[in-house]
Amino acid sequence: MSAEVVDSEAGVDRVGDERQSSPGAEKQCQQQQTSVVEEQLADDAAAATSAAEEKQSDSSSSQQATSRKRAHEDSEPVPKKVARTELDDTSKDSNVPSDLSTTSKNRDNVNATDSNQHSGQSTVPADHTNIVASHYNQLEEKGLSQRNQSRIIHMRNFNNWLKSTLIKEYIDKTKQKKSLNDPLKVLDMCCGKGGDLYKWRDGYVTHVIFADIAAVSVEQCQARYRDLGNRRYPPLYTAEFLAYDCTKVRLREKYKDVTVQLDLVSCQFAFHYSFESLQQAECMFKNASESLKAGGYFIGTIPNAYELMSRYHKADGKKIGNEIYSIEFQFDKNDVPLFGAKYHFHLEGVVDCPEFLVYPPMFEKLAWKYGLELVMFEKFEDYYERQKNDGKTRLGKMQALETYPPSQDVPLRGKVPEDYQHAIEYMQSSTGHRKIGTLSQAEWDAITLYSVFAFQKAKTHWNAEGKPEYIKT
Ligand SMILES: C[S@@+](CC[C@H](N)C(=O)[O-])C[C@H]1O[C@@H](n2cnc3c(N)ncnc32)[C@H](O)[C@@H]1O
């Protein structure tokens, strides 16, 4: 097959033609055909449940056997060693309709009762996107000095380091395939207040589309972008700002240039919100995929379902957590739906809203329906291990680690000594280290709830019936 046959721009149009009939409507993602995936996945339902249980028990035992030592010399913690997550081929379908009327403007539903008790059959009667949007819209924008006083400042910096490492890694991979002055276009899906604005600048990308359901956050993102442009820093990318629900609205129709070909799509700490229902997850994948060039990347960070379930299985009741994060599961640990598996997540001053479990095999399988081939899925601690040497300078610059023992004027943020037992032991067992970089146990326990992922867009071939077929790279 020639390269022309699989030209992705043509592919985008055909996908649109096939799955959407009324351009312009904000409900379009809901109209996607889900029958194909439902048919494919229904057969796997029983296998999915038993595989999930096996996975969870494997995960628990491997984690028990794992060292939690994190102290390290020269500003590097030693995270616990865990096996790389294997994605197996199990899944089942779901039937979870959602309210189609939600838009980013619809943000006064904070008090909506959240009384769904999910059964294993994955029924989610209410739509949580309003609650999520309201939460993020009301989140106070904190100044630098206030942020620096946070109990979880190092965890936030560590997560930021991890995102910047991931973004840099995939910008570099993208650039390797380009000539020097070629444009590099990005979609920052669920951008929030623009936490990654600087990362795009530092990567010398040429255009960024910022999209988020929380209209107030998008406004703040736009204001921060303007500030950035006003500084004397050579040349800033162009940008556009969209306040839409990415799980329900077809973003491509909202772009200034609907024919735009993206090189990179990034969705940081947000894809899990779409796992409220199959339709929403599919809409997110469609948004991630349909404007992406063949060979382009879709990257992000999500909670790790295996780790969440492993901790849930060990817990007495439905709650897990420590002094900085808490999770209350709202489904039965032995009867977990693939969509709508809701838990309430609270993270000190940052998150306080419902989230949904993302079962990795389903994540991978659904992505492939949209031509996205999984190329990397790693726990945060494994990604850190792999990247810490290359990213060492930035670890220091971004203050992603806490210094132990503390300086007199900068006390430790965690509880002493219990949050630093690993550092104490490390210092006692090693020689020649006066100071090390580490993280408190409480922060590390929250950090290790997450995974990092990367997909690559496959080439599209249009079959005789006019349907897209994707060719793995
Ligand atoms: C934890 S914040 C992450 C923000 C940003 N990506 C970052 O890393 O700084 C999650 C973001 O996802 C957004 N979000 C949640 N559900 C969404 C949806 N259905 N459509 C678009 N954005 C959504 C929230 O408004 C919030 O800004």
> Residue 214 CA: which ligand 1 atom is closest?
25
Residue 152's nearest CA partner among 405, 403, 324, 384 is 324
Q: Give the integer Cα–Cα distance in Å for 227 and 207.
A: 17
- The 3-state DSSP class for residue 405 equals coil
The answer on whether 191 is annotated among ligand-binding residues is no
Atom of ligand 1 nearest to the CA of 248: 19
Tell me, what's the pLDDT at 147?
Answer: 78
β-strands 372-379, 402-404 pairing: unpaired
Residue 247 and residue 27: Cα distance in Å, rounded? 10
pLDDT along the chain (473 residues), means of 10: 26 26 40 39 38 42 35 35 28 24 27 30 63 88 80 95 98 96 97 97 97 97 93 84 98 98 98 98 98 98 98 98 97 97 94 96 98 98 96 94 90 93 92 89 97 97 92 81
Q: What is the pLDDT of residue 29?
A: 62
Residue 441 marked as a ligand binder: no
Pairing of strands 325-329, 319-321: antiparallel
Q: Which residues contact 406 (CB under 8 A, 6 or more apart)?
A: 412
Instruction: Determine the distance separating the centroid of ligand 1 and the alpha carbon of 280, expressed in angstroms.
Output: 14
pLDDT of residue 233: 67
pLDDT score recorded for residue 348:
84
Q: From the DSSP assignment, how many helices (H) and strands (E) are in the chain?
A: 15, 16
Write the burial class of residue 209 (CB in 10 Å: 0-12 exposed, 13-18 middle, 19+ buried): buried
pLDDT at 472: 83
| Number of the ligand 1 atom closest to the C-alpha atom of 159 | 8
CA 62 / ligand 1 centre spacing (Å)? 32
Q: Is position 163 annotated in a ligand binding site? A: yes
Q: What is the pTM of this model?
A: 0.79
Pocket of ligand 1 (CB under 6 A): 129, 132-133, 136, 190-192, 195, 212-214, 217, 245-247, 268-270, 273, 351
Q: What pLDDT is attached to residue 3?
A: 29
